[in-house]
Chain A
Amino acid sequence: MNNATTLSKIEPASYLSEPLPLDASKRLEIDRSLSVPILFLMRSSFFSFSLALFLISICAVKLVFPSFLDGISFLTYGRLFPVAYDLFIYGWAIPLGFALILWLMARLSATPLSHIRILTAAAHLWNSALFLGSLAVLAGYGTSVIFLEYPNWASFLLFVSFLLMGLWVLLLTQERKERALYVSEWYLLTALCSFPWIYGTANLMLTWGKIQGSAQGPIQCWYAGSLMQFWLTPIALGTIYYLIPKITGVKIYSYYLALFGFFSLLLFSGWNGLSSLIGGAIPAWMMSAGVVTNIMLVLPMIAVVINFYWMFQESEKLILHQSPALRFVAAGIISYVIATVLSLVSSFPCFNAILNFTDYLSGTFLLFFLGFFGMTLFGGLYYFIPRLTGISWSSSKLIQFHFWLSVVGISLMVSSMVLGGMIEGVAFNDPVITFTNILSYTLPWNVLVTLSWFLLLLGFFCFMRLLVTMRWEMIEEKLPMPR
């Protein structure tokens, strides 16, 4: 990689002309310009992810053995559980998603990134706010609003640092050399622009300032739903739309389908959070809007999945077997389909009456979060990281272990949560069954869920092991160390 310096001297002007393909040297220049902030964001997100997995495993054990580590204020379930979820979202999903946005936007607009110092500084600010906020929740300063547990100063710092980071990508979009917008860019820009808006609004109404309690319910649910549909879904879909053509060489099957999928997602996704208040204390029309939009979300799912399906059909089957990235992406797409169908079922009021407040909904969320978003992004990482560092993965065995441990872990967890949730829900609706009896029904399922969290932890260790090997190789070959 010592030709990096010579390559950077090549004038970028020649790449202004259409059409792409991006020249290899240009690609290298862009990757070099990005590697420092992106690798930093990725490293911190991996750290948060392992911490979150560790904490959630403790929580899972606590459900089976309630006396495990009990009576300690900062390790009590009600504090540990929200912190684990916040680390998943603000520590892992958002920095990692942002890193992917950064990389994909730079590559897709054929523009290297400049002035990365401010970006890295903002990322540091994000990490410190995350760290201090999590400690504050553990110390008992949490707000107890789902996904917005951080105290107001921490969430404000998170907000500011995201604005600083996001501004960078918008500038890059403005200066882009490649003018045409690709499908991935639609999705990524949506995620990038809507996150500060929903995070700012929700915090403004729920933690920075507090509106009347009677209006807080819908806004809490709107935030949780929007976070899923305006951050997790677009980033995963944007990554898939990039990876499949890039790896297989197959063009997008139908642009019209892509457009249809994109706009229908936008139209329904902000409303679907209301469906978690079916039967709750919200006006009837809001509840019906939640029901309707949550069912309509099946349309964007069908549109993108047909597109992906035909692209896979047209591609060389050999590639699908060779590329770990594509294998992870395929698992992500399957999770997306199943999770959408599960949430569709639970949004009919007659089924929701049984399934609401049970593990069924947690299982659906985790399938969406870890199965769809997580697997897709890991697929992306298997593709991007070698290109960022200049070193290939050391062991295909470990990648396979990671893949299968994740697949088995997620399927075991989701199926036991869904089945256990159904049993729990039916028991809830029978007032003769006492509450402690219901708890005894859920116990075996909780044991399975605990087991699957450990499987996921193990799978992630395989991934970390690969990264550590890569790091050693970098030191041995005296490559420019990304900091």
Chain B
Amino acid sequence: MNPLNDLNSSDALNPERDLVEINRPPLSVNPEKYGGFFRPIPLWLIAISMVLFFWAGLYLAYYSGGFKSNVYNAELVAWSGGGGSRAAAPIDLRVVGKKVFAQNCVVCHQETGLGIAGQYPPLVGSEWALSQGWHGDNHLVKNILYGLQGPIIVKNMPYNNAMAPWNQLTDQQIAGVLTYVRSEWGNNGSPISPEFVAKIRASTPPRTEAWTMSELQAIPRELYSGAATNPTPPAK
């Protein structure tokens, strides 16, 4: 049954004698088709298929919503890793903020929050971040929403650069990143809530240009109520 033996038989009529796949003796003098053996299907394959069929039946019975055309939410909570508990869990703004900061802010302000001297202003102890002096929480939110450009003074040092607008972030993300910045690296500002961000976002007319310091200074200072008079210690 060794097909290579056939090579020796010199069948002059064989048109495939010289037809080779690749510069090698022909391998194709085998008959056109073979029968097969009637070996049984392996037992383990039958077992697997029966288990799978059984599982399929159960799955369809449980998760088919009664085969109705208007049921979309089959009871799949077990699969999705507890969808219910996820909705109920309270959101820690600092955790959200830490992520947003790592994603978007570290490039300029650095992981230490110290910025780069002469180029990017620091956030640590910054009167901008902590809403001291003429700065208010509203300025901070506006700043994130539409960016900042031109000469500014931070901790008595001049900077002249541009910050990108981040209005594509959600209220929760902005509140998170502000809360994070104001409570990290020894800062002890109060948290900012998503509702406050939403309020400022709604009351600020959309703009395409970034703010300048003088523009912001012209806007009256506003603090996030509840924490303005009574600053809470940083949550560590």
**A interface, CB within 8 angstroms of B:** 1, 3-4, 7, 19-22, 24-25, 27-28, 107-108, 110, 182-184, 242, 245-258, 260, 264, 281-285, 287-289, 291-292, 295-296, 298-299, 302-303, 306, 316, 318-319, 322-325, 348-350, 353, 382-383, 386-387, 390-393, 396, 399, 430-434, 437
Contacts and interface: CB of A to CB of B under 8 A. Distances in A.
A252 B22 contact: no
A430 B176 CA distance: 15
Given A21-B31, A323-B27, A392 B39 contact: no
A264 B169 CA distance: 50
Contact of A292 (B11, B22, B59, B103): B59
A387 B45 contact: no
B195 interface: no
B contact face: mostly helix, strand, loop, or mixed: loop
- Give the 4 A-B residue pairs with the shortest CB-CB distance, closest first: A252-B36, A21-B31, A284-B65, A284-B74
Contacts of B23: 392-393, 396
A contact face: mostly helix, strand, loop, or mixed: helix
Interface string B66-91: 11111111101001110000000000
Given A292-B60, A396-B23, A437-B103, A7 B15 contact: yes
Interface residues of B, number: 66
A283 B69 contact: yes
B11 A24 contact: yes
A254 B169 CA distance: 61
B79 A349 contact: yes
Nearest to B78: A350
Contacts of B49: 264, 299
A239 to B, nearest CB: 13
A257 B39 contact: yes
A287 B74 contact: yes
A242 B104 CA distance: 58
Contacts of A323: 21, 27
B34 A316 contact: no
Contacts of A255: 35-39
Nearest to A387: B19
Contact of B3 (A242, A249, A289, A387): A249
Given A20-B32, A108-B32, A288 B37 contact: no
Contact of A284 (B21, B41, B63): B63
Interface string B25-61: 0011111111111111110010011001100100110
Contacts of A296: 52-53, 56
B31 A322 contact: no
Contact of A353 (B34, B59, B65, B80): B80
B20 interface: yes
Contacts of B56: 292, 295-296
A256 B39 contact: yes
Interface in B151-204: 168-170, 173, 176
Contact of B15 (A3, A287, A393): A3
A21 B32 contact: yes
A248 B3 contact: yes
